[in-house]
């Protein structure tokens, strides 16, 4: 065990199957109120497989009072010929937690469902607030990043999934109030019009 200065604080470095940072307090308890005396920075936390939702939920409980950002994304999948909308993690296996390294490292690192806190050389490395804000700006009020498609009339497109995969065509128009579009397929001497979900298309340069 040795002492080192980390983010301006004297910490002791311990090894528990990995390099850990355990910064001790002088006369401060583990339940010290979370106020401006501490430096709450954002870190990327890796969860155990498929445990990111549970781990994020636990860390954000009233008892722990940590600020957690677990961005989600809208996706689509084809099942039995139908398109289903699903919500998935934007970064599978990872989420963001804002905490003070000195006060909260052990609380976060050894919390249920947590595998590690990302960093360099075994030391947790904070993420810029700008990165967090960029992701938040792309998400809606539910914290979900919605898929969008910038398609304009006469754009060349290709079908990337489904029974018509790899066929090319021309984008004609969006259908009112729906996630479906109308396209013209390029077949030999014939351009049939079909309706298809936009998630099954990709724009061709």
pLDDT tens-place string over residues 130-153: 999 988 888 888 888 876 677 888
Percent of the chain with pLDDT over 70: 76
196, part of any domain? yes
pLDDT band at 167 (very low <50, low <70, confident <90, very high): confident
27, part of any domain? no
Q: Is the pLDDT of residue 35 over 80?
A: no
Q: Which helix (H) or strand (E) holds 114?
A: strand 114-117
Q: 39 CB contacts (<8 Å, ≥6 apart)? A: 7, 100, 101, 102
The boundaries of the domain holding residue 45 are 33-145
pLDDT band at 38 (very low <50, low <70, confident <90, very high): low
Q: What's the pLDDT at 192? A: 85
pLDDT band at 67 (very low <50, low <70, confident <90, very high): very high
Do residue 71 and residue 167 come from a single domain?
no
Q: How many domains does the chain have?
A: 2
Q: What's the pLDDT at 129? A: 92
pLDDT tens for 177-202 read: 667 888 888 887 778 888 888 888 88
Of 114, 145, 176, the residue that ends a domain is 145
Do residue 101 and residue 185 come from a single domain?
no
Q: What's the pLDDT at 177? A: 62
Q: What's the pLDDT at 142? A: 80
pLDDT band at 24 (very low <50, low <70, confident <90, very high): very low
Q: How far apart are the first and last CA of the chain?
A: 58
Q: 116 vs 166, which has greater pLDDT? A: 116
Antiparallel, parallel or unpaired: β 9-15 and 2-6: antiparallel
Do residue 42 and residue 141 come from a single domain?
yes
For the chain, give the mean pLDDT: 78
Do residue 48 and residue 110 come from a single domain?
yes
Q: 28 vs 73, which has greater pLDDT? A: 73
- Residue 181: which of 164, 166, 200, 205 has the closest Cα? 200
- pLDDT, mean of residues 171-182: 81
Do residue 104 and residue 60 come from a single domain?
yes
């Amino acid at each position: 065990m040795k002492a080192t200065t980390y983010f301006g604080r004297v910490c002791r470095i311990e090894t528990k199957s990995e390099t850990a940072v355990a910064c001790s307090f002088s006369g401060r308890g583990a339940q010290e109120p979370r106020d401006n005396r501490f430096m709450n920075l954002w870190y990327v936390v890796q969860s155990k497989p498929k445990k990111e939702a549970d781990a994020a939920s636990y860390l954000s409980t009233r008892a722990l009072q940590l600020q957690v950002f677990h961005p989600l994304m809208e996706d689509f999948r084809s099942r039995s010929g139908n398109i289903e909308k699903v919500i998935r993690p934007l970064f599978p296996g990872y989420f963001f937690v804002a905490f003070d390294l000195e006060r909260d490292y052990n609380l976060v690192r050894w919390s249920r469902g947590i595998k590690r806190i990302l960093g360099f050389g075994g030391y947790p490395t904070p993420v810029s607030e700008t990165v967090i804000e960029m992701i938040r700006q792309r998400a809606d009020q539910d914290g979900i990043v919605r898929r969008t498609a910038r398609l304009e009339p006469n754009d060349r497109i290709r079908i990337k999934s489904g029974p018509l995969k790899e066929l090319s065509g021309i984008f004609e128009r969006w259908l009112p109030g729906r996630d479906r579009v109308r396209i013209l397929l390029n077949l030999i001497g014939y351009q049939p019009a079909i309706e298809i979900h936009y998630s099954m298309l990709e724009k061709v340069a």
